[in-house]
Amino acid sequence: MACHLAIAGVTGAVGQEFLSILEERNFPFTTLKMLASSRSKGKKITFKGKEYTVEELTKDSFAGIDIALFSAGGGRSKEFAPAAAKAGAVVVDNSSAFRMDPGVPLVVPEINAEAIKAHKGIIANPNCSTIIGIVPVWPLHQVNPVKRMVVSTYQAASGAGAAAMAELEAQSREILDGRKPTCNAFPYQIAFNCFSHNSALGPDGYNEEETKMVKETRKIFNCPDIAITATCVRIPVMRAHCESINLEFADPMTPEKVRELLAAAPGVTVMDDREHNRFPMPIDASGMDDVLVGRIRQDESLPDNRGINIWVAGDQLRKGAALNAVQIAERLLEL
């Protein structure tokens, strides 16, 4: 079960994470093509002891390719993913370009792996904050339907790419040295600050990150009427997102039941140590595959024990992006 694999956007933060994860999981491939924009053409990347030369991503890049992992931005996905699919590859696309396309499966393998089968050459990887939030909500929703979710996010710089992570570091140094922070990757100071997510705002005042969470969750859960509201915020953290999630269930739910269900759920690690006030933190989640869940409490502000609060942390570059895409690719190999 091996394949001819391509990675589009290999030099980016998620592209580099693709390589780590493919190596760690010993993903079986016969050939590997590394693709990026013309800027990175000719760069050498050593992977599993072999040196690869980065080629320019073009519409002709995909002859003979079985699976193409894309993380090169929405514009490039729109331009090149259909060509890759036409050439016979299955694209697993990390951008938002095709997520809400009714003909494109939007997949979190722990939730809706079976949707993969319906693909027509493109499978979409959901947005990072959506994936990290819903992996632990799904096993609860299966047992006791979630009627409403109120989500507030604490999102890392990595979601805006490698340049944003470098900017957080550079700004921190500038501020510690008493200098004015330089803003390029982000519109506002990220070091020692936080701000409402820097994606475009719709006419309803919600930014795209928030709207994605609502729409993508409904599609992945195949539950168009689940009520969701989100407030998405960037905080000065490198590469793991946290989320404060308030859940309203159809029927009574206890923290004990939530803990029991999550302890048995795939892709989830419960870290809920009340005795030591030890709950998931970004530095715990960084480099981890699982979404960490803690602060599991009854929300007494809802009647009949129908409310539960949880706090989650997940690696934005791994489960939030590259890992989820590689897990989809692994499922593709099993078809």
State the catalytic residues.
Answer: 128, 241
User: Least distance from C-beta 171 to a second copy, angstroms?
Assistant: 11
**11 known member of a binding site:** yes
**208 known member of a binding site:** yes
Maximum alpha-carbon separation in the chain: 62
- Cβ atoms of 177 and 255 closer than 8 Å: no
Distance separating alpha carbons of residues 73 and 51, to the nearest angstrom: 25
The contact pattern for a second copy, residues 176-205, with x = CB under 8 A and - = no contact, is: x----------xxx--xxxxx-x-xx--xx
217 binds a second copy (CB under 8 A): no
Segment near a second copy (CB under 8 A); pick from 57-65, 100-108, 125-133, 301-309:
301-309
307 binds a second copy (CB under 8 A): yes
Distance separating alpha carbons of residues 91 and 93, to the nearest angstrom: 6
Angular region, 332: left φ>0, alpha ψ -120 to 50, beta rest: alpha
Residue 27 vs 221, nearer CB to a second copy: 221
**99 known member of a binding site:** yes
**205 known member of a binding site:** no
26 binds a second copy (CB under 8 A): no
In the range 117-176, which residues lie near a second copy by CB under 8 A?
148-150, 152, 154, 168-169, 172-173, 176
User: Least distance from C-beta 98 to a second copy, angstroms?
Assistant: 25
**158 known member of a binding site:** yes
Q: What is the DSSP string of 218-272?
A: HHHHT-TT-EEEEE-EE-S-SSEEEEEEEEEESS---HHHHHHHHHTSTTEEE--
Distance separating alpha carbons of residues 174 and 161, to the nearest angstrom: 20
Alpha carbon 123 to chain centroid, angstroms: 14
User: Least distance from C-beta 14 to a second copy, angstroms?
Assistant: 20
Distance separating alpha carbons of residues 107 and 213, to the nearest angstrom: 14
Structure tokens at 66: 């079985």
Alpha carbon 150 to chain centroid, angstroms: 19
Residue 207 vs 324, nearer CB to a second copy: 207
Structure tokens at 49: 């002891």
The 8-class DSSP code of residue 298 comes to E
The contact pattern for a second copy, residues 248-267, with x = CB under 8 A and - = no contact, is: -------x------------
Annotated binding site for NADP(+): 11-14, 39-40, 158-159, 316
Which residues form the interface with a second copy (CB under 8 A)? 148-150, 152, 154, 168-169, 172-173, 176, 187-189, 192-196, 198, 200-201, 204-207, 227-229, 231, 233, 235-238, 242, 244, 246, 255, 274, 277, 279, 281-283, 294-302, 307, 309, 311
